[in-house]
Chains A and B, each alone.
Chain A
Amino acid sequence: MKHTLKYFFRIWLLMSLFLAQAQDIIPKKTSSERTKIEGEIPEAPKQAVAKPVAAAKTDSIVPLKKDRYGVRVGVDLYKLTRGLYDSNYKGIELVGDYRLTKKYFLAAELGSEDKTTVDDRLNTTTKGTYLKVGFDYNAYENWLDMENIISIGLRYGVSTFNQRLNSYKTYNAYPYFGEIPWKSSGEEFNGLTANWIEVVTGIKVKVINNIFVGFSLRMNILVADKKPSDNFENLYIPGFNRTYAGNFGAGFNYTVTYFVPLYKKTAKTKK
């Protein structure tokens, strides 16, 4: 099931990538197509080329498109609500971004997690905080005063945490004396750290006024982590999520954010 979910996310990620690409191109085409429809049908193609120039000129004079710049702050609803139904999880993530240019946003996530992971033979609790800093590139070409975002970005994540081994089972391939029950341990490993790189694809949609709802998917590559001991490993890293054998991880968030406008800037006419 876990794996099915993993592939589902991957396909989603890939799809969203194409979506972002497609949206990037469509508005450019539609503007020229629209003028084509308005233009006289029997005319030669030469005139059709000349017309849009004049049309674009008059367009830019009438409504001066102004982009709003500011800070967006919010919270991850998934982490916040998961604690309500999953007794093994408590967590919060604050998200924020700041618009640097028309396309680029400085983005960050700050979070804290307390998660008990129950595997087939291991029961561990991981507690810690994390910070992810990076940028988002908005690949979505907004019409008029729309402020939606379909982005792809990068983050650098760091986490400090501790891990406690609650109980474990020993693996015995020859259970002649019967299966051995769980053994309790309670061993604590403190002062653990990890850092990683995330590739983020996400969307943010303005629902009302300055309130945005967003969803993002993340693929993580672990750069380095401080292992609990020579013969134990980090099974869960706050912010990074479950660790896999090949140093990669995955995550997502579902955010509600509030945009605080700071200043406006006239959008430059493209090309």
Chain B
Amino acid sequence: MKKILILLLIAMFTVSSCEKDDICDANTPTTPRLVIVFYDINNPSVLKNVTNLKVIGDGKTEGIVFNSATDDSKYLTNGSTISIPLKTDSNTTKYSFILNSGNANPTLTDIDEVTFNYTRSDIFVSRACGFKTLFTFDPSNPFVHASVPETKLKWMQYISIEKSNIANENETHIKVFF
């Protein structure tokens, strides 16, 4: 009997070896960002790269950092996909999408403002990660789109909601055609 107990105790020591659950693993899916993919309006199935797109949240002075550059070019992207965070303490998030940002010719710079409307739900993840916030677009009015100044044409010609539930970052939530 004593031998069995000792064996059991040793087994427990080995089984219970290092299990860190105090640190939130970076690979754990937590609060997702909004994934926007840009397409060519003339050829809607083809991805189109943006040129020097800068995205600034309402009330912020600095844009979203898209790359690891050290100068101001870190706020610019030239790809076809962007991931931007939504506010987790508000049901709307307003962004300015500035195309050709920093261009020497100011007439080439286009600014569109998009306000996303959604509802939120907080979901438990784990002891270390706490909760995550998932978003669902407002079914009747998912976004408000305007150009700045209003007289100017919108550079985003068509915005399509692909997924109304934003639960992870592995899928496209919004397609923008321009």
Interface residues of A (CB under 8 A from B): 2-3, 10, 13-14, 17, 119-122, 137, 139, 152-154, 168-177, 180, 183, 199, 201, 219, 221, 231-233, 235, 244-246, 248
- When distances are taken between beta carbons in the complex, the residues of chain A under 8 Å from B126 are 233
Residue of B nearest to A169 (CB): B130
Q: Which of B12-20, B107-115, B141-149 contacts A (4 or more CB under 8 A)?
A: B12-20
Known: A17-B9, A170-B122, A199-B12. A176 touches B64 (CB 8 A): yes
- Interface flags, B113-128, vs A, CB<8A=1, else 0: 0000000001111111
Q: A121 to B15, Cβ gap below 8 A?
A: no
B69 proximal to A (CB < 8 A): no
Q: What would be 24 A-B contacts, judged by CB atoms less than 8 Å apart? A: A17-B6, A120-B130, A137-B1, A152-B5, A153-B5, A154-B5, A168-B124, A169-B131, A171-B30, A172-B85, A173-B26, A176-B57, A177-B60, A180-B89, A183-B122, A199-B5, A219-B9, A221-B12, A231-B124, A233-B124, A235-B127, A246-B16, A246-B19, A248-B19
Residues of B within 8 A of A (CB): 1-2, 5-6, 8-9, 12-13, 15-16, 19-22, 24, 26, 30-31, 33, 57, 60, 64, 84-85, 87-89, 93, 122-133
* A137 contacts B87, C-beta separation under 8 Å: no
The CA of A217 and the CA of B22, in the complex, are separated in Å by 23
B129 near A180 (CB under 8 angstroms)?
no
Question: B5 touches which one: A13, A122, A137, A183 (CB < 8 A)?
Answer: A137
A232 to chain B, nearest CB (A): 5
Instruction: Report yes or no: B2 in contact with A172, Cβ–Cβ below 8 A.
Output: no
Q: Report, nearest first, the 4 A-B pairs whose CB atoms are least far apart.
A: A121-B130, A171-B30, A245-B21, A171-B129
Residues in A with CB closer than 8 Å to B33 are 174
**Residue pair B130, A170 in contact (C-beta under 8 Å):** yes
CB distance from A145 to the nearest CB of B (A): 24
Closest to B28 in A: A171
- Tell whether, in the assembled complex, residue A174 and residue B85 are in contact, meaning their CB atoms are under 8 Å apart: yes
- B29 CB to closest chain A CB (Å) equals 10
- Besides A13-B9, A13-B13, A221-B12, 8 other CB < 8 A contacts? A2-B22, A168-B130, A170-B31, A171-B131, A172-B31, A173-B30, A174-B85, A199-B5
Of A152, A221, A244, A245, the contact of B2 (CB 8 Å cutoff): A152
Instruction: Say which residue of A154, A180, A199, A245 sits within 8 Å of B19 (CB atoms).
Output: A245
Q: How far is the CA of A80 from the CA of B105 in the complex (A)?
A: 75
Pick from B26, B85, B127, B131: contact of A177, CB under 8 Å: B85
Residue of B nearest to A165 (CB): B124
Q: In the complex, what residues of A have CB within 8 A of residue B6's CB?
A: 17, 152
List, in ascending order, chain B residues with CB within 8 A of A175's CB.
85
Query: How many Å lie between the Cα of A172 and that of B130 in the bound state?
Result: 10
A219 with B16: CB separation less than 8 A? yes
Note all chain A residues with C-beta closer than 8 A to B131. 121, 168-171
Tell me whether A119 and B30 are in contact in the complex, defined as CB-CB below 8 angstroms, given that A137-B5, A176-B57, A176-B85 are known contacts. Answer: no
Min CB distance B28 to A, Å, is: 8
* Complex interface: chain A residues within 8 A of B84 (CB): 176
Q: Which of A120, A180, A199 contacts B88 (CB 8 A)?
A: A180
User: Cβ of B13: which chain A residues have Cβ within 8 Å of it?
Assistant: 10, 13-14, 219
Alpha-carbon distance A246/B11, docked complex (angstroms): 14
Q: Is the CB of A170 within 8 A of B88?
A: yes
**For residue B60, which residues in chain A have a CB less than 8 angstroms away from its CB?**
176-177
- Cα–Cα distance between A2 and B31 once the two chains are bound (Å): 28
A169 contact set on B, CB distance < 8 A: 130-131
List of A residues within 8 angstroms of B57 by Cβ: 176-177
Of the candidates B9, B12, B122, B128, the one whose C-beta lies within 8 Å of that of A248 is: B12
B130 touches A244 (CB 8 A): no
